[in-house]
Amino acid sequence: MDISPPESKADRDGPAGPLEGVRVLDLSAYIAGPYACSLLADQGADVIKVEPPDGDNLRQYPSTLPSESRAFLGVNRSKRGIVLDLKRTEDHAALLKLVRDADVLVHNFRPGVPKRLGIDHDSLNLVNPRLIYCAITGYGETGPMKDKAGYDQVLQTMTGMCTLQGKRDGAPEIIYGSVVDYYAAALLAAGVSSALYERERSGLGQFVGVSLLRAALTMQSARMIWAEGESLDIGRDMRSGGVTGIHPARAGYIYISANTPRFWKALCEKTGLTALADDPRYDTVRKRAQHFSEIVPKLHEALAAHTALEWEAIFGDEVPCAAARQIEDMFDHPQVQAQGIIDTFEHPVVGRYRGVAQSIRFGRTPGPAPFAAPVLGQNTESVIAAIESGPGMAFGPRRHAKR
C-alpha cells in the first residue's frame, strides 16, 4: 500500500468537498490553529502545514507512541507538511510564492512576531489581496495583555471556567481535553468559510482574528449576562441544583439530565421515586435546585440498586443519560461506527492507527478520503519543486474555486 500523502489536492481519493479548490497554508502550532486547518481539510481544502526546522512544539509532547506525538497526529490529519525557516531569505521567498496562490493563511504567532518575520497582514495583502489572513492569539491583537503567551488552561482559569467547574465551596478544577483550543479551532474554521463566502462578492480577502480569550468567554455566553440594576455577584450556576449531573450507581457513574417536566417524571418513575414527581415542592427546575439537598440523597439511594450500564438500559430513551466511559470505549461504540466518525490511517513511521476522520457530514459533497498527519518535512522537496515549476503548481489544479 502506498502510504505517502498526495502530492496535491487533485491527487486525493474520493469525491469533492464543499471547500474543493481552496488552498490553505497552516503556519500554526499546538492545537487551535492546526485543528482549524484540519477541519478545512476535512471539507476538501488543500492544506500545506509549514513548520520551522524544529517542528511544531506539539510533536514533542508526551506520548506513549515511540516515534510521534499522539496529539500531533490527532490535530493534523489530511495535510502535506513542509519545513521552512522564515529567517532564511530563500525560505521566506518560498513562502511568499506559496502565499501568491493561497486562499487562506493561518498562524498563531504573538501579535508582534509576524511583522518581524515579514508575514504580517499588510505585507501579505500586497502579495495576494484575495488572501484570508487568520491569526489565533491568546488575548487578541490589542490591549495590555496582547503580547502574553496564551494557553488553553491558562484562559480557562482566567475566565472563570475552572471556578464554575469545581465542586461547591471547593477548589477550582481544570477541564481537561483542551476545550478552549478546540472551540477556538471551530470558530476559526467558521470564520474562514464566512470570509471565503464574502470574497465571492467583493473579490477581496480580509483579516480574521480569533483569540483563546474570546473563545473562552464565547463558550460561556449563557453565563456572561449582567442585567442593568442587578448585582454583579449573582448565581450563574446552571447545574440544576445537583439533580442533573453525574451520580454514583452500584458500580460506575451515570450522568442524568432531568430538567424538563417529562424527563423529571420519567426519572422518578424509573427509580421508584414517584412521590417526588407529584410533590409540588419539586415541580420546576428552580424548585428542585432550591431543594437539591432533600432530593439528591434519595436519588443516590435509588441508583445504588443497579450499575451505571444497567441504569442506562433501564432509562432507555425516556431519560437522557450516559454511563461514564473511557475514551477507549468510543473506538468500537456502535453509534460511533454507524456515523463513520473513526477511520484507519496509514503513517510512514507509526504504521496503522485509528482516529477521528471527519467532523461534519455533507450529503452532496462529502469530501475526499482523509490521510495521516505528515512527518516533519515529509513533502518539502515535492512542494518546493512544484513552486519552481510555476504559479499554482504546489497546490495542484484549482478545479472548482472561482477566481
The set of catalytic residues is: 181
- Which single residue is written with the C-alpha cell 497526529? 73
Distances 272 to 132, 265, 305, 318 between C-alpha atoms, Å: 58, 11, 11, 14
The Cα–Cα gap between 252 and 247 comes to: 9
Q: Is 283 left (phi over 0), alpha (psi -120 to 50) or beta?
A: alpha
The Cα–Cα gap between 102 and 95 comes to: 10
Pick from 177, 180, 173, 176: nearest CA to 155: 180
Number of Cβ within a 10 Å radius of residue 312: 19
Nine cell digits for residue 159: 475566565
The Cα–Cα gap between 222 and 164 comes to: 13
Classify burial at 273, counting beta carbons within 10 Å of its beta carbon; exposed 0-12, middle 13-18, buried 19 or more. middle
Nine cell digits for residue 186: 471551530
The Cα–Cα gap between 32 and 154 comes to: 14
- For the four alpha carbons of 191, 196, 202 and 203, in that order, the dihedral sign comes to positive
Would you list the DSSP string of 297-351?
Answer: HHHHHHHTTS-HHHHHHHHTTTS-EEE---GGGGTT-HHHHHHT-EEEEEETTTE
